[in-house]
Amino acid sequence: MLNKIQTTIAQLEQSKRIKVLYACESGSRAWGIPSLDSDYDVRFIYVHQLDWYLSLCNHKDTITIKEEETDLDMTGWDLRKTLQLMKKSNAAPLEWMNSSIVYHEAPGFLRRLRKVGETCFSPNAINYHYLSMARKFYDICAGEESVKLKTWFYALRTALNARWIVENEEMPPTLFKETLSLIEPSIRKEILALIALKGTKNEDFLFEKEASLLNLMQESIALSTAHKTKLPGSKVNMHEMDKFFQGMIPKPKKKEYCGAKKSTSFTLKSN
């Protein structure tokens, strides 16, 4: 699949006249809890050439590719869109930059993205994000006798991520197993067994209601709710974000050749 993903990226760069700066896994595979038939949820960040940003037209800033026959689900965001969401402490790009599976990276890009991302991280905003998702998935798990095991892990992951932020005031680990350090060994053992089970089942596998897991989610949700107004916000440095963005845009460089027309090539500017 790696070859397929990298080939698709190269084709996009040619057909869309873009430069892909970064591509990673964003779903259950990145979290270390895939099912047998889990999709490859690839997320990527790209830039256009300079003239695209200077246009008065409102261009589409998202690229989506979905191939059901190969289980490939790719979504890309233009760098400007990515940074505009990141400055609001949107969870998606903050998760992407810490993915456990990286498919493609322009030299030095990820290091610089993380430096910018550190100033955008708001414990208050990200806690609210995971907390709202945890409540939604908890209601699903608590309301039915049997629910997809996939949904149980969505509920557990978001509840423990919110709890992690309250206790550590930092982005939760990408690998779900690492958040289990927050809980007692007995329930940790139970969840590790469920991770092993999930790896042998398809995503439509149903799991019966489990009181111990519901209690864990309730406790984590209650803790996060109690602290949701006490956590700090972000410290965004817009000057540094602008410098980063401008440095990533390919700049036109004209070259002249004897007896030939002028041609234009594009190179990434490094700060």
Per mean pLDDT, which range of 30-34, 57-61, 82-86, 263-267 is the poorest?
263-267
Dump pLDDT digits (tens) for 58-104. 899 999 999 888 899 999 999 999 999 999 999 999 999 999 999 99
The answer on 99 and 8 residing in a single domain is yes
C-alpha 119, offset from chain centre: 17
pLDDT in tens, 143-172: 999 999 999 999 999 999 999 999 999 999
> Looking at the domain assignment, is residue 167 inside a domain?
yes
Q: Which domain CATH number covers 218?
A: 1.20.120
Task: Tell me, yes or no, whether 103 and 189 share the same domain.
Answer: no
How confident is the model at residue 112, as a pLDDT? Answer: 95
Same-domain pairing of 13 and 53: yes
pLDDT at residue 253, as a whole number: 72
267 — pLDDT class (breaks 50, 70, 90): low
**If pLDDT is split at 50, 70 and 90, which confidence band does 257 have?**
very low
Higher pLDDT among residues 266 and 21, named by residue: 21
- Please tell me whether residues 194 and 171 are part of one structural domain: yes
Element (H, E) at 77: strand 72-78
Do 86 and 134 reside in the same domain of the chain? Answer: no
- On whether residue 131 sits in a domain, the answer given is yes
What pLDDT is attached to residue 32? Answer: 97
Radius of gyration of the chain (CA): 21
- Mean pLDDT along residues 195-215: 96
Are 156 and 210 members of one domain?
Answer: yes
Closest CA to 122 of 149, 147, 86, 153: 86
- How many angstroms separate the CA atoms of 183 and 180, rounded? 6
**Residue holding tokens 């800033």?**
61
> CATH code at 57?
3.30.460.10
Q: Same structural domain for residues 16 and 113?
A: yes
Q: What is the mean pLDDT of residues 191-214?
A: 96
CA atoms within 13 A on the CB side of 52: 17
Which residues constitute the domain of residue 59?
2-120+237-267
Same domain flag for 262 and 208 = no
Answer yes or no: do 50 and 102 share one domain.
Answer: yes
Position 232 in a domain: no
Average pLDDT, the chain: 92
pLDDT of 175 reads: 97
How many structural domains compose the chain?
Answer: 2
CB–CB of 245/80 below 8 Å?
yes
**Using CA atoms, how far apart are residues 191 and 209, in angstroms rounded to an integer?**
14
- Are 114 and 127 part of one and the same domain? no
Same domain flag for 128 and 51: no
Write out pLDDT tens, residues 107-126: 999 999 999 999 999 999 99
Which helix (H) or strand (E) covers residue 88, if one does? none
DSSP label at residue 145: S
Task: Give a yes or no: residue 247 inside a domain.
Answer: yes
